[in-house]
Structure 1
Amino acid sequence: MIDAAPGADLHPGLDLANSRLAVPGQPPLDLLDSPAAAGRWLIDRGLAPADAVLHEVCAGRLRALRSQIRELFTAYVGEVAPPPEALAAVNAAMTRVPTAAELRWDASRGLHRATPHPTDQVVDRALGVLAADVADLLTSADASRLAACDSHPCVRFLLRSGRRQWCSIRCGDRARAARAYARRTQ
């Protein structure tokens, strides 16, 4: 089990960006590499109903949004203009379906709010929630804390707190060991 990077528990969009990992000495690990894995990822985060079943086209859309979010985060951290395609993808995902819970009525519950999960909109709704979270993150006070992990070959993002510059203890240990080795070999 890989621990979530700091801030990923508060921002599912950050968690999505970090769903592809670089593990030293191993091929990249993609937590969304199959429709079943992508479905589990959405269900585990409350973004899809427990009985949701994804097809490859849906998993591919989730991976494509992840790629665009990573482009936005990379641009933000690098203090450069974001790619227009990344902005367009996030905006399209946010506006494709309403993400607000609808007001509904039934005799046993009376008036209540409920988010529809029609099978053809499960992924659209999840993508909308994730994209809105990314937009909120990048325009909030937390945006100034967004950083890329400073440990090579890690590709994850985090919200810095204090002096922490790594996404995990493992990455911090690896970076410190690399610096110590570099000092010894000079």
Structure 2
Amino acid sequence: MRTMSETRAAEFVPTPAPGAEDHLALDFVNSAMALPGGQFVDLLGTPAAANRWLTERGLAPADAGVRETCAAQLRSLREDIRALFAAHVGGLPAPPTALSAVNDALSRAPTAALLHWDAKNGPHRVTPHPTDEILDHALAALAANAADLLTGPDAGRLTDCGSAPCNRYLLRHGRRHWCSTRCGDRARAARAYARRTRPESG
């Protein structure tokens, strides 16, 4: 499978899949896309691309300086969440390593606002968020959103795109099983071709 350059990849990125605008975890999992012709787009494929993806979603400042080790952690969590989505859609048990990885990410960011006391403000509470923990907060936010989706009211609507080779996930609306108009058109064309080329019985 060939990976596109960042410039060309941006031209092929389809609109967000149904549900991705409401569930960040769907958008996150769909940041790696298989396209027709053996092409592959990874919006987290480089540190700069990962930084841009996080910034566009309010998870990191533009000058966060994401390094390859951080981008690799993001890609790893993405695959773990994808494995949980696949298990849920397929009615299978959760892979233990994926479940452990998501729970580990959930525990990375402090949730309690700590008590601070200074001359200017007196006693007050602040949730710690030092710049060196930006990645931990991003991973925790993505893992929390995935957990909320899998345990929330939309969990039953989670499905994978029904148009090969697409590997994106979406929230089903009615009978729609495609993540985009492009995938829907491709699936309908494939069905029409199959009907035309099917040998007649008898």
Above 0.5 in TM-score? yes
**Which segments of structure 1 move beyond 6 Å, counting only runs of 4 or more?**
100-114
Does structure 1 conserve the Cα–Cα contact (< 8 Å) formed by 2:110 and 2:128?
no
Give the C-alpha shift of residue 119 in structure 1: 2.4
Tell me how far 1:141 sits from its aligned partner.
1.0
Task: Give deviations 1:3-48, integer Å, cap 9, x for gaps.
Answer: 1101111111111110000110142110100000001000000111
Q: Which whole-Å deviations, capped at 9, do the CAs of 1:65-121 have from their partners, x for residues lacking one? A: 000000000000000001000100000000111256667788999998866542211
- Give the distance between the partners of 2:193 and 2:36, measured in 1 at CA: 17
- 5 Å-filtered alignment, 1:1-186, equals 1-99=13-111, 116-186=128-198
Aligned residues: CA RMSD: 2.2
Asked if 2 retains the 8 angstrom alpha-carbon contact of 1:99 and 1:129, the reply is no
Q: What TM-score do the two structures reach when normalised by structure 2?
A: 0.84
Whole-angstrom distance in 2 between the partners of 1:185 and 1:104: 73
Gaps of 5+ in 2: 1-12
Shift, 1:50, TM fit: 2.8
Normalised by the length of structure 1, the TM-score is: 0.91
Query: How many matched pairs?
Result: 186
Change (3 A) 1:178 1:89: same
Once the two structures are TM-superposed, the CA of residue 2 in structure 1 deviates from its matched residue by 2.0
Tell me, in whole angstroms, the C-alpha distance in 1 between the residues paired with 2:136 and 2:169: 24
Letter in 1 for 2:62: A
Equivalent pairs: percent with the same residue? 62
Deviates more, 1:45-54 or 1:35-44: 45-54
SS of residue in 1 equivalent to 2:77: helix
* Inter-partner Cα distance in structure 2 for 1:86 and 1:174: 32
Question: Aligned-pair distance for 1:146?
Answer: 0.1
1:98-155 CA distance string (max 9 Å, x none): 2566677889999988665422111100000000000000001100000000000000
CA distance in 2, matches of 1:145, 1:171: 18
Equivalents in 2 of 1:112, 1:180: separation in Å?
65
Q: AA paired with 1:157? A: Y
Gaps of 5+ in 1: none
Flag the structure with larger Rg.
2
Answer whether contact 2:159 2:171 (CA < 8 A) is retained: yes
